[in-house]
Amino acid sequence: MPLSMPSVVLNRQRWFYETWGTPSAPAVLLLHGFTGSHASLARLAVALASEFFVVAPDLPGHGRTPAPTDARELAMAATADRLSTLLTRLAVGQAFVLGYSMGGRLALHLAVQSPQQVRGLVLESASPGLRDASERLSRRQQDEALANAIERQGIAWFVHYWANQALFQHQSPEVKARENRIRQQQTTFGLAQSLRGAGTGAQASLWEALPHLAMPVLLATGSQDAKFHAIAQDMAGAIPNVQWVSIPDAGHTVHDDNSRAFFKALTAFLRGFTASAKKEGGPLHGI
């Protein structure tokens, strides 16, 4: 992490964030996944910064943004409201919003709650939640058990456990090592509270909201991620203005597993809605 980062108080929570690019450029808000931080998407941010003003916060319980003592304050709806306020504080009228995994669920909440602020929505390996109430209850119980285990056994145990899930089996050793360095900087309390307040079981289902999304939506999944490929297929059938790309040779962490192909699909989507678009096929700026 950088030695110093800007921060802002959003409804009694202090959030830390990083920015890249020129504030007058079209804005892109990047939302990391569970166990990540702004650093998880920093390489992508740098690549986008020549054309866009990029904002990447540390979400509550991650990076330098602490978790509140009441896990209910991490609820997706409340956090989406704080993101809306963050954009306003940064004088961003509208932004493209890209969310990965947990960040994708949060991005979708922001799009549903504050559609006037979302110029376009990019959901990477994300879902609208669980449809069935009994599924949500079961998942909440699983998340609570994992939260307790994190607090009991510590970060080192959790990093090994989390990195070796089937979900990340397609990550290269380089990507896994980079993600693990970020995970090791987290706190047991922050991750446990995030699971309790922002886990998939804790959030309401947004499946019924999908047909009402008016902004353009890009769904991105890895060809080797069967679970989220199937979820994206269902989502694509429900969202009116949607594109879906399946990135080859990628698993759940699409932006890292095949960064060049992901960047190409992402910039094609973003440039389609910006007047200052550069010629397709330009430099990849380090990606």
What HEC string does the chain produce?
A: CCCCCCEEEECCEEEEEEEECCCCCCEEEEECCCCCCHHHHHHHHHHHCCCCEEEEECCCCECCECCCCCHHHHCHHHHHHHHHHHHHHCCCCCEEEEEECHHHHHHHHHHHHCHHHEEEEEEECCCCCCCCHHHHHHHHHHHHHHHHHHHHHCHHHHHHHHHCCHHHCCCCHHHHHHHHHHHHCCCHHHHHHHHHHHCCCCCCCCHHHHHHCCCCEEEEEECCCHHHHHHHHHHHCCCCCEEEEEECCCCCCHHHHCHHHHHHHHHHHHHCCCCCCCCCCCCCCCC
258: in domain: yes
**pLDDT band per the 50, 70, 90 thresholds, residue 273:** confident
Quick one: pLDDT at residue 287? 47
Quick one: pLDDT at residue 128? 98
87: in domain: yes
* pTM of this prediction exceeds 0.85: yes
Q: Answer whether residue 279 shows pLDDT above 50.
A: no
Quick one: pLDDT at residue 1? 52
Contact 146, 157 (CB under 8 A): no
**Mean pLDDT of the chain, nearest integer:** 94
CA-to-CA distance for 138 and 132, rounded, in angstroms? 10
Quick one: pLDDT at residue 4? 81
How would you classify residue 18: left for phi > 0, otherwise alpha for psi between -120 and 50, otherwise beta?
beta
Quick one: pLDDT at residue 132? 96
Q: Report the chain's C-alpha Rg in angstroms.
A: 17
18: in domain: yes
| Each residue's pLDDT tens digit, 14-68 | 999 999 999 999 999 999 999 999 999 999 999 999 999 999 999 999 999 999 9
Q: What is the residue range of 60's domain?
A: 7-129+204-271
Domain count, the chain: 1
214: in domain: yes
| Each residue's pLDDT tens digit, 192-233 | 999 999 999 999 999 999 999 999 999 999 999 999 999 999
199: in domain: no
In Å, how far are 42, 102, 130, 133 from 201, measured between CA atoms?
Answer: 28, 12, 7, 9
Amino acid making up residue 136:
R
Q: Answer whether residue 278 shows pLDDT above 70.
A: no
Domain at 57, CATH number: 3.40.50.1820
277: in domain: no
33: in domain: yes
Quick one: pLDDT at residue 3? 59
| % the chain with pLDDT above 70 | 94
241: in domain: yes
| Each residue's pLDDT tens digit, 111-123 | 999 999 999 999 9
